[in-house]
Amino acid sequence: MTDQTSKLSRKPTAFRLDDDTVHLKDAHTDLPPVDGTLISQDTLDEDDPRLPRSASTPKSGQGFAKWFFIGLGGLISLSIGLAIDSLIRDLFARTDWLGWLGVALTALAVLGLIGLIVRELTGVFRLKRIDDLRDRLQSAADDDDARAAQAGLKDLLSLYQDRPETALGRKTLAGHMREVIDGRDLVKLAERDLLSPLDQEARKIVMNSAKRVSLVTAVSPRALVDLLMVLFENMRTIRRLSALYGGRPGTLGFIRLARHVVTHLAVTGGMAAGDSLASQVLGHGVAARLSARLGEGVINGLLTARIGIAAIAVCRPAPFIATKGPTVSEFMGELISSEEIDGDQKNGKRAT
């Protein structure tokens, strides 16, 4: 007992790891020291108890920021209300009909504000419904759960019940739901019969957007014009894809949707795809056939296509089960051929 106490209570000593007299010992070996000091080097075990996550999580200082924005918003609201009240009083002081006109216009503005709020909230809830529906159908396909697939597909049918272009697909899918008992096969049939026309239109939207970005980048003399064009086209593509798949986002819904698209790109590595896209373009020998400006247009067009592909994955109310979904290589051939045609036309005009 005395020996163990003396070993545990020995004074700390400093060692150099590159010293020849210091020997590292693994936790699972009992080799004796060889003419030197023995240091035990224990490895961390995943089963060892750990501190709670809050111990290493920085404390957020958003409390004061919330107070600031709440107070600032209240002051702005009060100032607007007092300004309107003062304006209406002044109108009544001039003449009664101007005062009542001010009251009517104020009521109209309030009704418009209420409608705007309702529309924004409806758009946000609709996007959340699509996200939940996609997750449910993905889980039903993975587990081959027929009951979950039936419930999810009923919600999918109700999502498109006011879309006349989906009438045939909805009718065909409803017939499959009465006959097929496999959950995964039901999701595949929904993808083939109901969502396939929407997927084809989505590919056309992304392809046309990528072509426009590529063309403008190739002919634009200013980088600022390129940047604005890319931003406008990406925002326009995301909004059109969301409307195509039933999202109908407002301003707040669009911000939420754009954030999801960026998150999807970050997860799939799309934001860091510039080098890989350049290597793909160069690997296809495009650099030998296109000028530097046209090559830059192709790369920007392919990056736009990547954003469109991410938007399809986020806006689509069902996962890709039967197919892998659109890829950049599908857009590459058509985009490059269009750039080559434009380049040949420009060269022909210069020659004439």
Q: Considering Cα of 50, then 51, then 54, then 56, what sign does the dihedral take?
A: negative
Q: Which of 151, 119, 157, 121 is nearest to 135 (CA)?
A: 151
Cα(237)–Cα(208) distance, integer angstroms: 10
pLDDT of residue 100: 92
Do 132 and 151 contact (CB within 8 A), yes or no? no
Specify if 24 maps to a domain. no
Specify if 114 maps to a domain. yes
> pLDDT tens digit string along 22-51?
665 554 444 454 444 444 444 445 555 666
Q: Degrees (nearest 5) of the Cα angle 179, 138, 196?
A: 65
Confidence of residue 14 (pLDDT cuts 50, 70, 90): low
Most confident of 31-40, 132-141, 267-276, 290-299: 132-141
237 and 254 inside one domain: yes
Please say if the pLDDT value at position 274 is more than 80. no
- What percent of the chain is predicted at pLDDT more than 90? 12
Cα(160)–Cα(154) distance, integer angstroms: 10
330 and 213 inside one domain: yes
162 and 90 inside one domain: yes
Q: Which is higher by pLDDT, 180 or 277?
A: 180
What contacts 24+ positions apart, CB below 8 Å, involve 117-123? 119/250, 120/250, 120/251, 120/252, 120/253, 122/250, 123/247, 123/248, 123/249, 123/250, 123/252, 123/253, 123/254
Confidence of residue 112 (pLDDT cuts 50, 70, 90): very high
Do 237 and 209 contact (CB within 8 A), yes or no? yes
Residue at which a domain ends, from 193, 226, 249: 193
Helix or strand run (H / E) with residue 257: helix 251-268
Can you name the residues that pair with 26 across neighbouring β-strands?
Answer: 41
201 and 340 inside one domain: yes
Query: In which domain, by residue range, is 335 found?
Result: 197-351
Report the domain count for the chain. 2
Strands (E), the chain: 22-26, 37-41
> pLDDT tens digit string along 220-236?
767 777 778 888 888 88
Residue at which a domain ends, from 165, 193, 221: 193
212 and 128 inside one domain: no
Specify if 250 maps to a domain. yes
343 and 223 inside one domain: yes
180 and 209 inside one domain: no
289 and 324 inside one domain: yes
DSSP labels for 116-133? HHHHHHHHHHHHHHHHHH
The pTM is what?
0.65
